[in-house]
């Protein structure tokens, strides 16, 4: 099973909102690299929910409940989306500062490519981040 990380600006779509909705379409991705990551997601894969711009922390874990399919909001037809559902909150949100302070996470795509909104998380990094988050 693969692991991932997706970003959301909390004033646009927050973790609270995600939990209230129960399930949502992860639409609006307009970047090929991010889109390729969405394509590689499989049913049941887990994914960190990260607050960008404000908060700057991993605050929750979601699960992929529907694999990649066309995004109706994309007129060009080039991009797709997945559906996700909240799985659990992270008891102690893992801040970007904490991630950057951890040498073992220096190669995490989140750190190396700050603009990529959907990125893979290697298994060992996933385990470490869960531990840092109190899970």
Partner DNA sequence: GCCAACGTTGGC
By CB under 7 A, name the binding residues for DNA.
7, 9, 30-33, 52-53, 56, 96-97, 100, 112-117
* Least distance (Å) between residue 63 CB and DNA: 21
Name beta bridge partners: 26: 82
CB closer to DNA, 20 vs 97: 97
Q: How far is the CB of 5 from DNA (least distance, A)?
A: 10
Closer residue to DNA (CB): 13 or 135: 13
B/e letters for 74-92, b = 16+ CB within 10 Å, e = fewer, are beeeebbbbbbebeebbee
94, 132 Cβ separation under 8 angstroms? yes
User: In angstroms, what is the minimal distance from the CB of 74 to DNA?
Assistant: 12
Q: Give whichever of 22 and 75 is closer to DNA, judged by the CB atom.
A: 75
Asked if 69 contacts 81 with a C-beta cutoff of 8 angstroms, the reply is: yes
């Amino acid at each position: 099973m693969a692991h991932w990380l997706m970003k959301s600006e909390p004033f646009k779509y927050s973790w609270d909102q995600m939990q209230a909705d129960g399930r949502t379409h992860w639409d609006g991705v307009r970047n090929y690299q991010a889109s390729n990551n969405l394509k590689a997601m499989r049913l049941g894969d887990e994914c960190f929910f990260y607050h960008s711009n404000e908060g700057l922390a991993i605050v929750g874990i979601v699960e992929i409940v529907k694999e990649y399919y066309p995004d109706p909001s994309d007129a060009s037809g080039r991009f797709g989306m997945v559906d996700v559902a909240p799985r659990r909150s992270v008891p102690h949100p893992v801040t970007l500062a904490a991630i950057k302070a951890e040498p073992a996470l220096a190669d995490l795509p989140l750190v190396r490519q700050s603009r990529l909104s959907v990125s893979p998380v290697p298994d060992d990094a996933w385990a470490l981040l869960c531990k840092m988050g109190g899970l």
